[in-house]
Amino acid sequence: MEQYLNPLIERYSSEKMLKIFSPYNKFSNWRKLWIALAESEKALGLNISDLQIDEMKQHIYDIDFIKAASYEKKFRHDVMAHVHTFGDQCPNAKPIIHLGATSAYVGDNTDLIVMREALMLTQKKLAILIDKLAAFANETKHIPTLGYTHFQPAQLTTVGKRASLWLLDLVMDYEDVSVLIDQIKMRGVKGTTGTQASFLSLFDGNHEKVIALDRMVANKMGFKESLAVTGQTYTRKYDAKVANVLNGVALSLHKMTNDIRMLQSLKEVEEPFEKNQIGSSAMAYKRNPMRSERVASLCKYVMSLSTSPQYVAATQWFERTLDDSANKRLSISEAFLAIDACLDISNNIATGLVVYEKVIEKHVYAELPFMMTENIIMEAVKKGGDRQELHESIRVHSMEAGKKVKLEGLENDLIDRIVNDPIFHLSLDDVKALMNPKDYIGRSIEQVNEFLESQVEPIRANHRESLGEMVDLKV
């Protein structure tokens, strides 16, 4: 191969998302917009015939991309290239195609249509991932595991409770995506600088017809309404908002896959590893968390892309400048393609997470003597001990037990030290009675149950027909 191939297309993004950002979808939407405009102008009294509209409708999808490219090379203008290409196919309709409109009528409205379609697919894939992670959290909510603060052993949590932390972030992302879908309005029919002057002229100064035209076109294209005011373009804050929401999804997935990578290093939880998968070309024994690493890698890319639309929105001059076009062609599409890949890979991971309970249990019991010291003090006080003296003794014994583990590589002997210290008045059986890990997980199980019921079930209810979809990764 002698030409660059975009990895998002070749390796990562789904066919569904690629179709949304395809030239075919883009330019067929341009044609639908020209038809919606002509139909609405006709309905409001302009001299446009059913023959012209029917002719346009017959050629929505048979786009001659070679001819359009030839026209664009000649005109140096993509919209006029496609006006002429469409006009060649629709000779009767050619005189009224794009009537009263500016380039942003098809360009900007299509961008908003495409972004809304892409957000809807993102929303659906978030729901599928949330459902699978929720099932994992529910299945593992009872398994005690070490909690970590500063990546140092802390009080116990459960495997499922930790997964609920990943879920919470993703539920927040789902909510943000859903809000943004509802917020997106069409640019509508606004004219060259947003004043609708050309349409006011077409309708001989009839403001009501211009207002109706704007509303009718928006409705025909599936929008409840259009933006109240625009310049030549819709406000580029829309692009910035979209990029920021995708950035939020990337943050959540990056955090989740970082945790999974560390858990795999601890041999506690492992992402799927296929029968013939190779972890290393040199070290045959390795089981690298390559899916989680890929998600983290692509998420970094999405996060880096989020700044471009912000710069574009901040530096638009008055009603518009063209320094937005080349940037947004890349940043918006690639952010969606990359986050689509991240969601698919994460879906694949969530489908086959493996939990090694014996390893988790080993790690828990290695640290449990430290975790249970407060309970030991309480039991010793019940037997007549002095809380302050007991606390100091526990502190000294803990430091010595820690040295044995760290400096000599020996087992944690804190329990033996406490049993053999007469100040505690506790037998080995007394202490062993305090060594059930489930006594130290607090409300982890109940919290998972309450969270899934209140936060996840409504999302599941909105996407029943899509839940459980499997993902077959390209690589």
Neighbouring C-alpha atoms within 13 Å toward the C-beta of 402: 9
Which residue bears the tokens 């069409």?
Answer: 186
d(CA 421, CA 107): 80
d(CA 116, CA 62): 24
Question: Which of 94, 138, 110, 112 is closest to 26 using CA atoms?
Answer: 110
Which residue bears the tokens 């405009």?
Answer: 37
Question: Which of 111, 322, 81, 98 is closest to 198 using CA atoms?
Answer: 98
Q: At what angle do helices 387-408 and 357-371 cross, to 10 degrees?
A: 140
Residue-by-residue DSSP string for 287-318: ---HHHHHHHHHHHHHHHHTHHHHHHHHT--T
Task: Find residue 189's DSSP bridge partners.
Answer: none
Active-site hit among 280, 297, 427, 454: 280
Quickly count: other Cβ atoms within 10 Å of residue 18's Cβ.
17
Would you call 280 a catalytic residue per the annotation? yes
- Whether 224 and 116 have beta carbons less than 8 Å apart is answered as no
- Whether 60 and 241 have beta carbons less than 8 Å apart is answered as no
Question: Which of 293, 352, 255 is closest to 475 using CA atoms?
Answer: 293
SS3 percent helix, strand, coil of the chain, rounded to 5, is: 65, 5, 30
Residue-by-residue DSSP string for 21-49: TSHHHHHHHHHHHHHHHHHHHHHTT-S--
Would you call 178 a catalytic residue per the annotation? no
How long, in residues, is the chain?
475
Question: Which of 108, 347, 353 is closest to 231 using CA atoms?
Answer: 108
- Whether 35 and 63 have beta carbons less than 8 Å apart is answered as no
Render the burial of 196-232: b for 16+ CB within 10 Å, e for the rest: bebbbebbeeeeebbeebbbbbbebbebeebbeebbb
Handedness of CA 451, 455, 456, 458 (dihedral sign): positive
In this structure, what DSSP letter does residue 437 have?
Answer: G
Phi, psi of 154 (to 5 degrees): -130, -165
Active centre residues (catalytic): 150, 280
